[in-house]
């Protein structure tokens, strides 16, 4: 699967929008933003905040089966 440049950031619970997140409120470093580094281990100046997938609610079975989710 080909991912766009910010996919890793976009699905992180710390993402604030634009090219900012709680770890990097001014600007996410280029190698994180590009996906070259997935930010699963410490990174300089990340304030101890790392990639954490957003929690997503699962649709109930009836809604899922009917396609209304």
Is the pLDDT at 3 greater than 50, yes or no? no
Write down the domain spans for the chain: 1-54
Instruction: Say what percent of the chain tops pLDDT 90.
Output: 57
Q: DSSP readout, the chain?
A: ----TTHHHHTBTTEEETTEESS-SS---HHHHTTSS---S--TT-TT----BPP-PPPPHHHHHHT--
Q: Which whole number is the average pLDDT over 28-49?
A: 93
Q: Which whole number is the average pLDDT over 46-60?
A: 87
Lowest mean pLDDT among 20-24, 25-29, 43-47, 58-62: 58-62
| pLDDT band (50, 70, 90) for residue 45 | very high
Picking from 17, 20, 11, the residue whose alpha carbon sits closest to that of residue 51 is 11
């Amino acid at each position: 699967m080909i991912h766009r440049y910010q996919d890793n950031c976009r699905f992180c619970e710390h993402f604030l929008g634009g090219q900012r997140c709680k770890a990097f409120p001014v600007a996410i470093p280029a190698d994180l933003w590009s996906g070259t580094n997935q930010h699963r281990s410490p990174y300089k100046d990340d304030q101890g905040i790392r990639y954490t997938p957003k929690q997503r609610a699962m649709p109930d079975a009836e809604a899922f089966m009917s396609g209304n989710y």
